[in-house]
Structure 1
């Protein structure tokens, strides 16, 4: 069940450095050094973060300041409008990066498996005043990553079941969203919750289905049912926005690549696009 205890920002504190001890009474200090590796922009933390978790006690991240690297909040470019790279969630995100580091040696504290690290992230975001919706969205996203990465405590069969449930339900939701779009524009009439109705009733029915269907499919995620429901609803509601942003991103990247490799061709292509738009606008105005 989703609960919302009061934030406790004092749980975070300055974790010190290799020469300075942690200071439980000082606020965390985020000091980063940029480290570009190829096309990846990573950051080295120059000071540790301390966090007193209500279940696992004192945690320090990272254990090794020299080797630890982070990409800050791990958010795909398409979704940075929803969850930016920085904000109130940055400190919890850095903490989480240390807890789930593949080496398993980038935090100081008791043994923590990945699902529990995800729950720590959620609690930590509460303590830094991250909004309720955003922190549950972020927790669901990292839970999906955990399902794919797995944890040593899972058998191969359990891991496979989790992956199939997660990927299968999300694929089904995406397919239903596509069919719902076709239903809305009267290309098909396959979804009973939309049917042959006025467009606004079909739209309402589609939105209702975008909530109810993922809620039911989320049950297939087992212990991660809440994450399944949240992820499914987010996918269903944001499907069209995501597709549109993906298309714009592809066009932008293609334009950048063309401009970098063949500037003249890019200039010609730009001129053709502008001229075509001008002609089309003129024709539409004349026809109105």
Structure 2
């Protein structure tokens, strides 16, 4: 069954089950760390298989090999975990998807009861359907599916020719680049640094803001159509990028500042204390300067 963003789908959580039974799936994880004391990566091993009965591909079990399979749970960049956390209702679908996706030179990391072979595109579709069956929010489901579709477009699918892969890549890369550039120009136009964005014009701040938001929807909508069979993913990811561009930049800068502070505090603790003292002193001076006029009055 093809899922549509405009047609409600009744969740069927019973499609997830334990291996060899109809019981709800038991997710048992073992945390695994790699790297040195300063650079550690966190992965998880599944100690128990879970199964999902897909409408098209039948029963799919993950992982194929309990001894070697590792997952990072829901693969989400840190700055986006406020939007899509690593765990939640979407965790079982994420684990299934991790098992369905593997490198071309690797053995499948899933088991198909019906002997079906799934490429990345099929794995993404199963992921989307599975999220709906766990009653993951429709908006979150389509956002996550669009993001992993973008990853699939970048890495390619075994069923694509080189020309097809290149066409999808060019369309996606061009869309992202255009949206980012227009987002920067729209921001500069909003603050009257330039006056180059036609749908914003030389209007009041509020009207330019409304025009900018309209452009953040219409432009990705048109660009998404160039993605061919992945047009819905192009539209959803494009609008999300345009609307969340400034939030993403702000969170990225905050994250970089935090990581820089951690790096200094770990390797140069004395310097970190000195810098912290200077920053605190500077803010105290600013407070005094700002309060002085009020005191004089």
TM-score of the two chains, using structure 2 as the length reference: 0.93
Unaligned runs of 5+ in 2: none
Q: 1:200 to 1:240 in 2, by over 3 A?
A: same
> 1:11 corresponds to which residue?
15
Q: Number of matched residues?
A: 281
> 2:247 corresponds to which residue?
241
> 2:43 corresponds to which residue?
42
User: Residues of 2 paired with 1:117 and 1:46: CA distance?
Assistant: 22
User: Residues of 1 paired with 2:18 and 2:8: CA distance?
Assistant: 25
Question: Which has the higher mean CA deviation after the structures are superposed, 30-39 or 69-78?
Answer: 30-39
Q: CA deviation at 1:4?
A: 2.4
> 2:84 corresponds to which residue?
83
Q: CA deviation at 1:57?
A: 0.5
User: Residues of 2 paired with 1:123 and 1:66: CA distance?
Assistant: 28
Q: CA deviation at 1:280?
A: 1.7
User: Residues of 2 paired with 1:81 and 1:104: CA distance?
Assistant: 34
Q: Secondary structure at the match of 1:268?
A: helix
> 1:107 corresponds to which residue?
110
The answer to whether the aligner puts 1:172 opposite 2:175 as a matched pair is no
Q: CA deviation at 1:282?
A: 2.1
User: Residues of 1 paired with 2:174 and 2:16: CA distance?
Assistant: 38
Q: Which residue among 225, 233, 236 is the counterpart of 1:219? A: 225
Q: CA deviation at 1:286?
A: 2.9
User: Residues of 1 paired with 2:231 and 2:194: CA distance?
Assistant: 31
Q: CA deviation at 1:124?
A: 0.2
Deviation >4 Å, runs of 4+: none
> 1:30 corresponds to which residue?
27
Q: Which residue among 249, 258, 263 is the counterpart of 2:264? A: 258
Unaligned runs of 5+ in 1: 16-21
TM-score of the two chains, using structure 1 as the length reference: 0.96
> 1:19 corresponds to which residue?
none
> 1:98 corresponds to which residue?
99
User: Residues of 1 paired with 2:102 and 2:293: CA distance?
Assistant: 61
Q: Which residue among 161, 164, 169 is the counterpart of 2:167? A: 161
Q: What is the aligned-residue RMSD (CA, Å)?
A: 1.0
User: Residues of 1 paired with 2:291 and 2:164: CA distance?
Assistant: 61
